[in-house]
Amino acid sequence: MRAVSVHPDALVLTSRMWQTTATALRAGDEALLIDSPFFPDELEILPGLVRQAGFDVRGLLATHADFDHLLGRLAFPELPLGVGEPTMLRLRAEPGAAQRALRDQDEELYVERSGPLGLGQVQSLPVPGRLELGPAELELHAAGGHTADGTAIFDPRAEVLVCGDYLSDVEIPTLGEGGSLDSYRTTLAGLAPLLDRANVAVPGHGSPLERENALRILDEDLAYLDALERGEERPALPAGRDGGRQRELHAGNLATLA
């Protein structure tokens, strides 16, 4: 697992699985952890790593209900988990879905865990809305399109945008369960003004991005969505996101729209 400080009060941890990111944000003496790494050994060292970096994590946030973003519970089982209202609705509509998806993925990869994923007490947060963090506030913004749910978190003090599964430098836009082209475009349109206020954007998969790179990826993603809507079977994918795996994801997007 790789740890990178993108601001004195923002630490990004990147899993070796799908380059999934987890972001610790701090204000005063309090910190929150957004999303999670994947593997058991990464989750085991996570509390000590963030503590050594000076982040006293007192709560968890998840950008959406895909299982690979909910695993913070395994590292911090005693902490409250907050999710946006759309994610709470999805969790209630799909009881046990995240646990089953994690079990299937672990079986495929021969991963053993000490116990099942338990979400425990989950707190629904208004979106759009604000969330207190020590003496500061985080902004919560709706971010649907990849899935039916989604929340982007902006820290105006640190100028860091944690955007969930958008603006990835390693993965093209994907339409998961409940995702749609229109909602995806709406989210990208909403992220643009937030990027104007941010120094760094942290995608759910990939590397932290400086503003200029994030805006470039946003434009590339809009162009890809246009090609997807036209039904192009072999579109020109963005450089660095044009390998065989990304072609498979594109085929899946076409099947979703069919």
Q: Would you give per-residue pLDDT tens digits along the chain (258 residues)?
A: 999 999 999 999 999 999 999 999 999 999 999 999 999 999 999 999 999 999 999 999 999 999 999 999 999 999 999 999 999 999 999 999 999 999 999 999 999 999 999 998 899 999 999 999 999 999 999 999 999 999 999 999 999 999 999 999 999 999 988 999 999 999 999 999 999 999 999 999 999 999 999 999 999 999 999 999 999 999 999 999 999 999 999 999 999 998
**H or E, element range at 62:** strand 57-62
**Termini Cα distance of the chain:** 38
Specify the pairing of strand 81-84 against strand 122-125. parallel
The tokens describing 196, both together, are 């104007």
Per-residue pLDDT tens digits for 54-92: 999 999 999 999 999 999 999 999 999 999 999 999 999
- Bridge partners of 57, per DSSP, are 31
Phi, psi at residue 4, to the nearest 5°? Answer: -135, 130
Helical spans, DSSP H, in 174-210 = 181-197
- Give the domain CATH number at 45: 3.60.15.10
Return d(Cα 107, Cα 216) in angstroms, integer: 37
Return d(Cα 88, Cα 99) in angstroms, integer: 15
164 Ramachandran zone, left/alpha/beta (phi>0; psi -120 to 50): left
Q: Tally Cβ neighbours within 10 Å of residue 91.
A: 20
SS3 11: strand
Tell me what pLDDT residue 106 has: 97
Return d(Cα 197, Cα 184) in angstroms, integer: 21
Q: Is there a cis peptide before residue 128, judged by omega within 30 degrees of 0?
A: yes
Tell me what pLDDT residue 246 has: 97
Range of 192's domain?
Answer: 2-257
Tell me what pLDDT residue 65 has: 97
- Give this prediction's pTM: 0.96
Cα atoms in the 13 Å half-sphere on the side-chain side of 113: 22
Whether the Cβ atoms of residue 140 and residue 150 lie closer than 8 Å to each other? no
Tell me what pLDDT residue 121 has: 85
**H or E, element range at 6:** strand 2-7
Return d(Cα 163, Cα 156) in angstroms, integer: 14
Tell me what pLDDT residue 177 has: 83
The tokens describing 125, both together, are 């947060």
Angle at 146 between CA 142 and CA 152, to 5 degrees: 30
- Number of domains within the chain: 1
The tokens describing 101, both together, are 């998806």
